[in-house]
Amino acid sequence: MPHAPQRRWELDALRGLMLVLMTLTHMPTMYSLPSGQPLGFVSAAEGFVFLSAFMAGRVYGRRARRDGLPAMQAAFHERALKLYLCQLGLLLLAFTVIAWLGVFNRQGGVTGLLEFFFIDPQAAVVGAALLLHNPPLLDILPLYIFMMLASPWLLRRGLRHGWLGVLAVSGLLWLGEQWGLGRGVYDLVVALTGLPIPYKDMGAFHWLAWQALWVAGLWLGAREQPWPRLPGWVLAPAAVYAGAMLVWRHIAGQDPLPWLPAVGLLLDKWSLGPMRVLNFASVFVLLMAAGPWLVRVLPRPHALELLGRHSLSVFCAHIVIALFTLAFFGSTQVVRPWTTDVALLLAAFAGLFAVAMLVEARERAGRRPGVSWRARSQAQ
């Protein structure tokens, strides 16, 4: 077996940072809105999805070259099954304990989040199991599962025939979503099958748009060539645009121009509007250029590495903690003392680190069944 390269700790640290930002955003405290999109009109979700795709391309691309395409496909399917089982566990918790607590405690944040379940429980449960009904907070893993199932074909096509065709089709699907392609497909399916799940209850993320972010990350992760040195004519516009978006975000707030909805569509998160994609690309370019220097001068963030190393477990834990917080303490609309919100956040992060440390200890003791993401990545 060829020598296994060291794990890229900086990628783990970035994923850990994305998990911290998502927790700050999803926890229903007074700090939720201010902490959202701190780097401009770019959220932690974009970073998390892109990094996950990049690492998938890196790990499974090596697996394909070393062990063959069937082994790569089997590894993808194994990971997708694990993600699906995690999603089923979160749904079971939400549709039972959390739903009951929301009604018992009269917490509108929970009953609103599970609105379709209370309207049509049977359709909600069946639809959720089929990844068609995706309540808020529970709509990220279905996107991840779908892309993990599609990735073997994408990676196979890219490695055998080049990535140009894959990227072109992905770009066309993203462009089509900007003009309502996803809603058109939904309307057609409803007309043919009578699907009872409303469009808004299928999840906030428009998959036809977000697949482009995944495909781009998968392509870059699967590259064997070293990163090229970016010229100044690329870095300068990226710095100007990223800086302008950063200032605009913190002056205007989350809604860029409330009186001009067209601009909001260009920066829309759920359909990855064009200006938002450009904002993400600008931040990515700057991070790629400054990354080696940052790795040298900044202290190594071991705490973030720990979270990123066990990102799936930590991600699921943050959803569970957010759901219980909603069920007991209410949504961001509930006025609470700032000390209570600080205590809730401290308890949430303590829970995340406890989960990460438990998983770490279990892996080191060799008691974790199956092949973990970490073990797979180190074995490549």
Q: What is the pLDDT of residues 17-26, one digit of tens each?
A: 999 999 999 9
pLDDT tens for each residue of 7-17:
688 999 999 99
Model confidence pTM above 0.75: yes
Amino acid letter, 299 = P
Distances (CA, A) of 108 to 114, 203, 265, 341: 10, 19, 28, 18
Alpha-carbon distance 27 to 34, whole Å?
12
- Sort residue 366 into left (φ over 0), alpha (ψ -120 to 50) or beta: left
Alpha-carbon distance 154 to 170, whole Å?
10
* Cβ proximity of 61 and 380 under 8 Å: no
Dihedral angle, C-alpha 150, 151, 157, 158, nearest 10 ° = 140
Instruction: Determine the pLDDT at residue 364.
Output: 87
> Given a cut of 60, is residue 63 above it in pLDDT?
yes
Task: Using alpha carbons, select from 52, 41, 59 the residue that is nearest to residue 15.
Answer: 52
* Cβ proximity of 222 and 61 under 8 Å: yes
Non-local CB neighbours of 245 within 8 Å, separated by 6+ positions: 40, 41, 42, 279, 282
Instruction: Determine the pLDDT at residue 102.
Output: 95
* 3-state SS class at 152: helix
Tell me the two tokens of residue 303.
């705490």
> Given a cut of 60, is residue 1 above it in pLDDT?
no
> Given a cut of 60, is residue 303 above it in pLDDT?
yes
Instruction: Determine the pLDDT at residue 227.
Output: 76
Alpha-carbon distance 55 to 33, whole Å?
29
Burial status of residue 227 (CB atoms within 10 A of its CB: 0-12, 13-18, 19 or more): exposed
CA Rg value for the chain: 21
Amino acid letter, 177 = E
Instruction: Determine the pLDDT at residue 295.
Output: 87
DSSP conformation class of 95: I
